[in-house]
A and B are shown apart, each in its own frame.
Chain A
Amino acid sequence: MKRTVSILAGGLLFGTLSTAALADDGRELVIDGETIATTAVPADDHPLDELISGWRFRSAETQALQMDDFENPAFVAIEYAEEIWETPAGKSNQSCADCHGDANNFTGLRTKLPRWNDEMGKPATMEMLINASIETHQGAEPWKWESAEMLAMTALIGLQSRGMPVAMKTDGPIADWVKKGEELYYTRVGLLNMACANCHEDNYGNMIRADHLSQGQINGFPVYRLKWGGLGSIHRRFKGCMDQVRAEPYKRGSDEFIALEAYVTSRGMGLSVETPSVRN
C-alpha cells in the first residue's frame, strides 16, 4: 500500500485541478481468475524504489480492457498469428508449427529478451529472432519491424509468458549494450531537451496534461494502444517519445533502440509479462 500512497501523492497536491479518477487506487490485474503482479521490488542498486507496471497508471476503463481476453482488442492479432503459425511459407514450405509445435513451447522466452546472440553479434529482440527463423528455417522474406504479421507474432509468443517475471540476463556480452542503453536513457535530446529519466524516473505518477506519467516499463509489449487503434512495438513507443520532445528518432531495429530496449527491460526486472497489454 505504501506504493499506492506515493503514486497518489503527486495527484493530491493539485487535487482540485487534476483528474483524481486517473490516479491508481491499488486495483489488481486479474485475467481469467489469475492475478498478475503489477509491482515488484527492485534490486538494491536500482535507481527506482519501486517497480510499477504501466497498467497501474491507466484509467479503470482502460485497465478493464486488459482484464478480459474477449475485450482485449489485441486478441484479434493473436488469432491472426495463430493462423500464420499453422501456414506453410517460404522455400521450405514449412509452417512455424511444423518445427516448433505448439506456440506454448515458447513459454518463458519473452522474459529473457533481449538476449545476447553470437551469430548476430548483438542482443536479439523478439522481432530479430522471428525474422531469423523466417529467413533461415523457412527460407521466406523477413517481416518489417512494425508489420501486422510481426506485431501479431510477437504478441502470440509473448502471451505464452504472461504472468511470468521479466528475467533477462544482463551480464556477459550484453552488458555493454545495457550500459549504452543506460547512457541513452539519461541523455537529453530534442528541442525540448529531455531524457527518458526526466519523465519516467523523476516524474512518474504526475500528470503531464491529460496523461498520467508511468515508469515507461515495457513488460506488456507489443501493446494495444487506444491512441494508435492497434498494436505497436517497443521501438515504435520509443520513437513516439522522441517525436514528442522534438528529437530526431532512431530507427526501429537500430542498435540504439536495441540497446535502449535492453536497458529499459533491465529496469523492469521482476515485473510480470503482460503481453498483450492495453494502454491509452
Chain B
Amino acid sequence: MKAIAKTIAAATLLISGSAVAGVVAPGDVQFVEAAVPVSLTGAVGDPAKGREWFANRKLGNCLACHANDDLAEEQFHGEIGPYLEGIGDTYTEAELRAIVVNSKEVFGEATIMPAFYKSEGLNRVAKKFAGKTILSAEQVEDIVAYLATLKE
C-alpha cells in the first residue's frame, strides 16, 4: 500500500475518500515508531484548507480541545489538549500525521484525543458513521500541512 501511495499521480488527488485507489486506507496506515512517514494521499496537503478543516466543528473541530493563536478570530478555544503554538517546531510532519491519524499510537491508550483516520476497532459507532473516519485522507494531509506551519 505504501509503495502504491508513493507512486500515485497527483491527478487522482482531487477525489477524496478512502475508497480511492492510491489513498492509504485507515487500516493500512503504517506507523514507524511514533511517526507515519508516508503521505496518506501520496501528495503534500494544502495548509490553507487544513486551517479550515482545523476550525470546522464537523471536521477536525480541533479548537474544541486545543487553543491556537493562529485562529484568534475564532471564539472559544478549548483547554483539553496542549496549546498548539509552535507545534510545527515540536514535531515533524511524520509525527504530526501519526498524532492526527491515531494519537493512541503515539501517546498511548489513555489519551482522550480521537483517532481522526480510523474506522475499525471502535465500540457502538452511530449507524450513520459506521465504517467512516472523522477526516478523509486528504483532509488529514491538509491539517498536517497546516500544523507544520505553526512555528514560533
Give residues in A with beta carbon < 8 Å to B: 10-11, 13-14, 17-19, 187-194, 198-199, 202-203, 206-210, 242-243, 246-249
Q: Give the dominant DSSP class at B's interface.
A: loop
Does B65 lie within 8 Å of A17, measured CB to CB? Answer: no
* Cα separation A191 to B133 with both chains bound (whole Å): 8
B126 close to chain A: CB less than 8 A: yes
* Cα separation A198 to B64 with both chains bound (whole Å): 14
- Number of contacting residues on B, CB 8 A? 28
Does B83 lie within 8 Å of A14, measured CB to CB? Answer: yes
For B127, give its contact among A13, A207, A248 (CB under 8 Å): A248
Q: Which residue of A lies closest to B69 (CB)?
A: A17
Additional pairs, 18, CB under 8 Å, beyond known A189-B124, A198-B112, A247-B125 = A10-B79, A18-B76, A189-B123, A190-B129, A191-B114, A191-B133, A192-B114, A193-B114, A194-B114, A203-B112, A206-B79, A206-B80, A208-B64, A209-B78, A247-B124, A248-B125, A248-B126, A249-B126
Question: B79 to chain A: which residues have CB within 8 Å?
Answer: 10-11, 13-14, 18, 206-208
* Cα separation A198 to B129 with both chains bound (whole Å): 21
- If the complex has contacts A14-B83, A17-B67, are A193 and B122 also in contact, measured as CB distance less than 8 A? yes
* Cα separation A190 to B79 with both chains bound (whole Å): 22
Q: Mark B72-107, 1 if CB is under 8 A from A, else 0.
A: 100111111001000000000000000000000000
Q: Which residue of A lies closest to B132 (CB)?
A: A191
* Cα separation A147 to B100 with both chains bound (whole Å): 42
Q: Which residue of B lies closest to A195 (CB)?
A: B112
Q: Which of B119-140 contact A (CB under 8 A)?
A: 122-127, 129, 132-134
